[in-house]
């Protein structure tokens, strides 16, 4: 019996779907099937649109929506996360491959190789238990990146909305081409684009529970058939090849692998951020704990397997995951059902996209891009913090001016720089007893206009004392001790002291001693005290110069002014802080 438990635990780690497979009953299967049908309806227009954003034929978006969710659902940790093609990943794939010199016909092979490498990175991060990695990429960076991606997505559709042939110019170049030689079907293309936009918005307003993107796409296609858009020269999507996702072989030459590694790392990180963030957000609503490491493994395996079945890089989708949860899904089987329903649609109606005008798809893509802009969060960031606003702006500008993979690096680097700058400049604040607070009741002397005792300068250190903060703290101590050589340093806000910080304290204590003064410490937390003890710094500083809290320190250093009656060693200022 004892041997079977470790074996069962190992099986559950290797095959996480065993956790929920035993719960499959009639009611659960029915709920997952209904949610799966809803998911298939939602992903159908998105799969076509996202593949075109990535520069791939539309069927590759559907292949990704078929293969990726099955593997990710079986090996991930979230019960409601649905993976597949996403807008941000699609535009990042296009951005990575656009910077390469690609011969005609090699684009698909490189996209699949990029997917394979991204999956290998993700699987490696998961096996190395690096789930906390996503915590270093702040929400502000993601908002800025997504806003930049949204603008790039929208601009990439200018050629399509103007009815230019596939592979033609986009952005300002498309407008220049049209201005020089307007195509005869320009009015028809713009009309289909506008009709699709208006139709989607009306459906969302009048029937918010209906699949607005799918219905708007159908309405645009029907209008195109009625007015004969194809005969007028408006480009069409064309029929999707009937059949299951075909086997594929990524390119394995060393030159290709080496050139794709930086982009693959960016795709891997963005995919993990999307997946884990969405899984955690829905997990809060469903009261489910998410295992980030297992989610890394699930995403990695899904992209690795998908690359051999004509699927390009994918991640968790907030739209489809949210709809999956709202539709009543109970297990990841709902995402698998969605894939199977999509297989039926692809096998049964492969010619449906033959009558789908490209300007209609362009409208759907623009609507998706608009949905990526989180104006509420952007306003909150701008109003709340100048530093976060700088991170947001730098990430956004890097995305549209340089490239998307560099934008993530820019945002993370700036975030870490600003964090290190804050932590490397902890406050060294003169404090004094406040008459309206329980003794000693130390408060900011300058802020509250409190008189300082001429016999002792009391300073409060707000922040950890590590190598990056040593120079700042030492400079502040020397400046504030210019006219008073007896210093009491209140360390209740110091969580950590490293070797450089301890040596600086010893250096300042010896300097003050030489100048006829002294350095005293009080309120040391247990972690900081242990560091000083391990390096024998407590003895060097002088144990009679170390006090448990400000009350005891003031009672010893200013004996003619004893603490107020009723004061205890653990004062209001330092209670519970060691």
- Determine the angle formed by the axes of helices 404-423 and 254-286, rounding to 10 degrees: 60
Measured from the Cβ of residue 413, the count of other Cβ atoms closer than 10 Å reads: 14
Cα–Cα distance for residue pair 214/45, rounded to 1 Å = 6
Task: List residues bridging with 457 in a β-sheet.
Answer: 487
Distance CA 293, CA 229 (A): 50
- CA of residue 338 relative to chain centroid, distance: 26
State residue 167's pLDDT score: 59
**Angle subtended at Cα 402 by Cα 396 and Cα 407, rounded to the nearest 5 degrees:** 45
Which stretches of 308-350 are DSSP H helices?
A: 318-326, 333-348
List, for residues 211-231, the tens digit of each pLDDT value.
888 888 889 999 999 998 888
Question: Cβ atoms within 10 A of the Cβ of 416, count?
Answer: 12
Distance between CA atoms of residues 157 and 166, nearest Å: 11
CB 142 within 8 A of CB 277: yes
pLDDT at 117: 96
d(CA 528, CA 534): 10
CA 45 – CA 90 distance, rounded (Å): 14
**Close Cβ partners of 350 (under 8 Å, ≥ 6 residues apart):** 239, 240, 241, 242
How far lies 181's CA from each of 72, 164, 190, 261, 318, in Å?
Answer: 48, 11, 16, 41, 41
**How far apart (Å, rounded) are the C-alpha atoms in residues 336 and 181?**
48
Strand ranges of the sheet holding 546-547, from the earlier edge strand across to the other edge:
442-444, 427-433, 457-462, 486-493, 518-522, 546-547
Cα separations (Å) of 493 from 470, 489, 525, 557? 15, 11, 8, 21
**Residue 145 CA neighbour count, 13 Å, CB half:** 29
Task: Show Cβ contacts of residue 202 under 8 Å, excluding neighbours closer than 6 positions.
Answer: none
- How long is the chain? 578
Q: Is 458 helix (H, G, I), strand (E, B) or coil?
A: strand
Spatial distance between the Cα atoms of 382 and 353, rounded to a whole number of angstroms: 43
Cβ atoms of 335 and 36 closer than 8 Å:
yes
The pLDDT tens digits for 10-51 are 676 778 888 888 777 888 898 889 888 878 877 888 888 889
Task: Return the beta strands (E) in 434-529 as ranges.
Answer: 442-444, 457-462, 486-493, 518-522
Cβ-based burial of 402 (10 A; exposed 0-12, middle 13-18, buried ≥19):
middle
Measured CA to CA, the distance from residue 423 to residue 419 in angstroms comes to 6
Could you give the 3-state DSSP secondary structure of residue 463?
A: coil
Q: How far apart are CA 356 and CA 351, in angstroms?
A: 10
pLDDT tens for the chain, 578 residues long, are: 455 667 666 676 778 888 888 777 888 898 889 888 878 877 888 888 889 889 899 899 999 999 999 999 999 989 999 999 998 899 899 989 887 766 656 889 999 999 999 999 999 999 998 887 777 777 888 888 888 888 887 888 888 788 777 656 666 777 777 777 788 888 998 999 999 999 999 998 998 878 888 888 889 999 999 998 888 888 887 777 878 899 998 888 888 888 899 899 989 988 998 888 888 878 877 778 888 899 999 999 999 999 999 999 999 987 788 878 877 888 999 999 999 999 998 888 877 777 888 888 888 888 878 887 888 889 999 998 899 999 999 999 998 888 776 787 888 889 888 888 888 899 899 999 887 777 677 888 888 888 888 889 999 999 889 999 999 999 999 999 988 899 999 998 898 899 999 999 999 999 999 999 999 999 999 888 988 988 889 989 998 999 988 888 988 888 765 444 433 333 333 333 33
Tokens 């247990």 belong to 526
- The pair of three-digit structure tokens given for residue 106, joined into one six-digit string: 């090699």
What average pLDDT does the structure give for the chain?
85
Give the pLDDT confidence score for residue 75 in this predicted structure. 94
493 three-class SS: strand
Cβ pair 138, 415 in contact under 8 A: yes
Identify the DSSP state of 571. Answer: -
Q: At what angle do helices 87-98 and 107-127 cross, to 10 degrees?
A: 120
Least Cα distance to 17 among 335, 338, 333 occurs for 333
Short-list 404, 493, 374, CA closest to 89? 404
Residue pair 394/410 in contact (Cβ under 8 Å)? The answer is yes
Going by the DSSP 8-state scheme, the letter that residue 404 receives in this structure is H
- pTM, two decimal places: 0.71
Q: How far apart are the C-alpha atoms of 500 and 543, rounded to whole Å?
A: 20
Say if residues 133 and 272 touch (Cβ distance below 8 Å).
yes
The answer to whether the peptide bond before residue 440 is cis (omega within 30 degrees of 0) is yes
Question: Distance between CA atoms of 315 and 566, rounded to whole angstroms?
Answer: 61
Read off the tokens for 471: 């120079």
């Amino acid at each position: 019996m004892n041997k079977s438990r470790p074996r069962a635990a190992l099986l559950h780690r290797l095959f996480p779907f065993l956790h929920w497979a035993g719960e499959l009953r009639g009611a659960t299967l029915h709920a997952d099937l209904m949610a799966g049908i809803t998911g298939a309806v939602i992903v159908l227009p998105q799969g076509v649109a996202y593949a075109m954003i990535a520069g791939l034929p539309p069927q590759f978006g559907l292949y990704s929506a078929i293969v990726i969710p099955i593997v990710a659902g079986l090996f991930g940790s979230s019960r409601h996360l649905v993976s597949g093609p996403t807008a941000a990943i699609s535009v990042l794939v296009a951005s990575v491959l656009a910077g390469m010199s690609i011969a005609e016909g090699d684009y698909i092979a490189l996209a699949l190789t990029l997917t394979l490498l991204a999956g290998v990175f993700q699987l490696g991060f998961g096996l190395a238990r690096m789930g906390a990695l996503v915590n270093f990429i702040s929400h502000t960076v993601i908002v800025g990146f997504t806003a930049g991606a949204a603008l790039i997505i929208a601009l990439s559709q200018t050629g399509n909305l103007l009815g230019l042939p596939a592979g033609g110019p986009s952005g300002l170049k498309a407008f220049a081409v049209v201005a020089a030689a307007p195509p005869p079907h320009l009015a028809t293309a713009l009309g289909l684009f506008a009709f699709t936009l208006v139709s989607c918005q009306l459906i969302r307003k009048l029937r918010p529970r209906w699949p607005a993107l799918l219905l708007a796409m159908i309405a645009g296609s029907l209008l195109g058939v009625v007015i004969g858009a194809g005969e007028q020269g408006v480009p069409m999507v064309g029929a999707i090849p009937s059949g299951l996702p075909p086997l594929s072989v990524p390119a394995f030459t060393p030159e290709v692998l080496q050139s794709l590694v930086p982009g693959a790392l960016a795709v891997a990180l963005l995919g993990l951020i999307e997946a884990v963030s969405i899984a955690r957000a829905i997990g809060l609503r469903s009261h489910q704990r998410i295992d980030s490491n297992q989610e890394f493994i699930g995403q990695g395996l899904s992209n690795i397997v998908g690359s051999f079945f004509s699927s390009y890089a994918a991640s968790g989708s907030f739209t489809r995951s949210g709809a999956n949860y709202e539709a009543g899904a109970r297990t990841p089987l709902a995402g698998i059902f969605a894939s199977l329903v999509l297989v039926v649609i692809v096998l049964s109606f492969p010619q449906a996209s033959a009558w789908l005008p490209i300007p209609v798809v362009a409208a759907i893509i623009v609507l998706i891009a608009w949905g990526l802009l989180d104006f509420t969060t952007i306003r909150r960031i701008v109003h709340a913090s100048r530093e976060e606003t700088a991170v947001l702006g730098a990430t956004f500008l890097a995305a549209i001016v340089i490239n998307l993979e560099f934008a993530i690096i820019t945002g993370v680097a700036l975030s870490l720089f600003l964090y290190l700058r804050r932590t490397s400049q902890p406050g060294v604040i003169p404090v004094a007893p406040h008459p309206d607070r329980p003794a000693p009741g130390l408060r900011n002397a300058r802020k509250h206009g409190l008189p300082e005792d001429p016999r002792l300068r009391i300073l409060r250190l707000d922040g950890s004392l590590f190598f990056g903060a040593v120079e700042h703290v030492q400079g502040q101590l020397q400046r504030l001790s210019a006219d008073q050589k007896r210093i009491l340093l209140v360390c209740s806000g110091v969580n950590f002291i490293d070797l450089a910080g301890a040596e600086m304290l010893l250096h300042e204590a010896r300097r003050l001693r030489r100048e006829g003064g002294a350095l005293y410490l009080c309120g040391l937390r247990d972690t900081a005290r242990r560091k000083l003890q391990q390096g024998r710094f407590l003895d060097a500083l002088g144990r009679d110069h170390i006090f448990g809290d400000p009350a005891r320190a003031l009672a010893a250093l200013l004996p003619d002014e004893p603490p107020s009656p009723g004061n205890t060693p653990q004062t209001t200022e330092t209670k519970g802080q060691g």
